[in-house]
């Protein structure tokens, strides 16, 4: 295994200089050319301990969700766990702050942040005063100022509807949650419902009676909404439902099974996320797999680009998905 002495010998610089460069000593004043020669020598010798993973300090992880919201949607819990793991892997000093603590608890000396959840305009302005370095996961509240990485929910929605239409469905329903606007404190259309409406409108297939939404993405919400659809529509129940998230879909399946409605013979179901339970429900759930690990890895890498490479151009990164076909379609 290569040592710092080996890197020093190959690069032509002293052991002290090489050590301080590879340990990301911010007090060291050397030229970019010197740093590059040392990095090249380290790479050539496969010395990667500090070269590839410089220590990034004082990064805030803004986990802007309540404990109840995390409990009800495994999607966000998985994001939190993956971000914490990738922070360790990339040598990032990560400090978690939650919504119940309030935005003012975030120290004024943070070097950057990664954020998930819904932020008010006041909170976003506060963040701008603290740091220009930040990445939002699953949303893009400031696309002209901060990076973001998210699944392409518009494309997923279109793909689900295209699948249904290709297989002869013309009566397609939607079951989902809402977006809570922290500025107005009102419930608004979620991005999936927005695209569902506009896409089917374009194809002259939109039926307002087939749309059922309520705040929350938990199993109970899906059960109640599907029950409402069954009771309201009876024999006129759509032949297919696009459902905003797997937990809601699990509850919807329970309601359909309880009512003796055959899946997929009478009603087909497609959902989003591919949580672990999706393959074990009855019937197994057709759903879009979202690679949360890749989303979180990309978020960390985007922040490192900003910090270490001083990138100025803002990026919005959409992560693709894969339709996992199971017996609910």
Side-chain-side CA neighbours of 40 within 13 Å: the count stands at 10
For 33-72, the DSSP string reads HHHHHHHHHHHHTT--TTTTS--EEEEEEEEES-HHHHHH
Beta bridge partners of 213: 176
- Angle, alpha carbons 287-326-259 (nearest 5°): 90
CATH 3.40.50.2300 boundaries in the chain: 56-151+292-320, 153-290
Which regions of the chain are under pLDDT 50?
A: 50-52
Task: Report the predicted TM-score, pTM, of the whole model to 2 decimal places.
Answer: 0.82
Three-class secondary structure of residue 121 per DSSP: helix
What is the C-alpha to C-alpha distance for residues 177 and 243, in angstroms, rounded to an integer? Answer: 9
Residue-level pLDDT at 154 = 97
Residue-level pLDDT at 218 = 93
Domain 153-290: top CATH class: alpha beta
What is the C-alpha to C-alpha distance for residues 273 and 286, in angstroms, rounded to an integer? Answer: 10
Three-class secondary structure of residue 272 per DSSP: strand
Residue-level pLDDT at 48 = 63
For the chain, strand residue ranges (E) read 56-64, 92-98, 112-117, 134-137, 147-151, 172-176, 178-181, 186-189, 211-213, 240-243, 268-273, 286-290, 316-319, 321-324
For 282-318, the DSSP string reads SSPPEEEEE-HHHHHHHHHHHHHHHHHH---S--EEE
Q: Alpha carbon 272 to chain centroid distance?
A: 12
- Angle, alpha carbons 183-191-218 (nearest 5°): 85
**CATH number, domain 56-151+292-320:** 3.40.50.2300
Residue-level pLDDT at 49 = 57
Residue-level pLDDT at 51 = 42
Residue-level pLDDT at 117 = 95
**Residue 242 in contact with residue 173, Cβ under 8 Å?**
yes
Q: Alpha carbon 26 to chain centroid distance?
A: 32
């Amino acid at each position: 295994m290569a040592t710092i002495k080996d890197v020093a010998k190959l690069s032509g610089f002293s052991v002290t200089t090489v050590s301080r460069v590879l340990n990301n000593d911010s007090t060291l004043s050397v030229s970019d050319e010197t740093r590059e020669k040392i990095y090249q020598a380290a790479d050539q010798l496969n010395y990667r301990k500090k070269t590839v993973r410089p220590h990034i300090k004082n990064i805030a992880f803004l986990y802007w969700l309540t404990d109840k919201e995390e409990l009800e949607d495994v999607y966000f819990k998985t994001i939190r766990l993956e971000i914490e793991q990738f922070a360790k892997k990339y040598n990032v000093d990560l400090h978690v702050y939650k919504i119940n603590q309030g935005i003012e608890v975030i120290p004024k000396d943070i070097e950057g942040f990664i954020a998930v959840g819904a932020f008010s305009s006041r909170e976003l302005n506060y963040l701008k005063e603290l740091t220009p370095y930040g990445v939002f996961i699953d949303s893009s509240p400031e696309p002209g100022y901060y990076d973001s990485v998210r699944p392409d929910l518009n494309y997923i929605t279109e793909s689900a509807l295209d699948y249904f239409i290709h297989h002869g469905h013309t009566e397609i329903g939607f079951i989902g949650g809402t977006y809570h606007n922290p500025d107005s404190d009102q419930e608004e259309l979620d991005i999936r419902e927005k695209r569902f409406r506009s896409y089917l409108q374009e194809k002259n297939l939109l039926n307002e009676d087939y749309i059922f939404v309520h705040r929350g993405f938990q199993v109970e919400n899906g059960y109640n909404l599907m029950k409402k659809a069954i009771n309201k529509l009876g024999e006129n129940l759509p032949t297919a439902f696009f459902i905003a998230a797997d937990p809601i879909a699990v509850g919807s399946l329970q309601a359909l099974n309880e009512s003796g409605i055959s899946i997929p013979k009478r009603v087909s179901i497609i959902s989003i996320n591919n949580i672990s339970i999706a393959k074990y429900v009855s019937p197994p759930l057709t759903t879009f797999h979202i690679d949360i690990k890749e989303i979180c890895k990309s978020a960390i890498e985007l922040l490192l680009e900003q910090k270490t490479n001083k990138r100025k151009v803002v990026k919005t990164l959409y992560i693709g998905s894969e339709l996992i076909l199971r017996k609910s379609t």
